[in-house]
Amino acid sequence: MKKVAKISSIILLVIALIGTTAFFIKRHTLTKEVTEYLITEKGYDESEFRTEGFYFKVMGKIKFTIKVVFEDEEDYVFIYGKLDDQIYQVLWLTDRDERPEKHVEENILYER
């Protein structure tokens, strides 16, 4: 019995390590891809924005998203994700009642 419990514990530990490693790899990869997208596709300088978080949340077909804050509109949070090998601005969030003046993309997936 002790041997079975020990083997089960080792298997659970390996599964947890693989899951954690996959999560960190996905976070790093998506953060890099969103950063590259904003710089190469949208023409931003890296000093104009910062990435602040990685989320696993099912938003339609997009399961992983990155939170981006632009330095000139810090009251707004822009969520980016990847769908069909393309980066999209998924939505924007704020406590304010008005739409952001800048940075809202034409192909945003969910407009408020």
9-22: pLDDT as tens digits = 888 888 888 878 88
Token reading at 56: 């696993």
What is the per-residue burial (b if ≥16 Cβ within 10 Å, else e) of 75-86?
ebbbbbbbeeee
pLDDT, tens only, 20-38: 888 788 888 899 999 999 9
Distance CA 80, CA 84 (A): 13
Q: Would 106 be classed as within a structural domain?
A: no
Q: Would 110 be classed as within a structural domain?
A: no
Q: Would 89 be classed as within a structural domain?
A: yes
Range of the domain at 17: 2-94
Domain count, the chain: 1
pLDDT, tens only, 32-56: 999 999 999 999 999 999 998 877 6
Residue 84 sits at φ, ψ, to 5 deg, of: 50, 45
Query: Per-residue pLDDT for 68 more than 90?
Result: yes
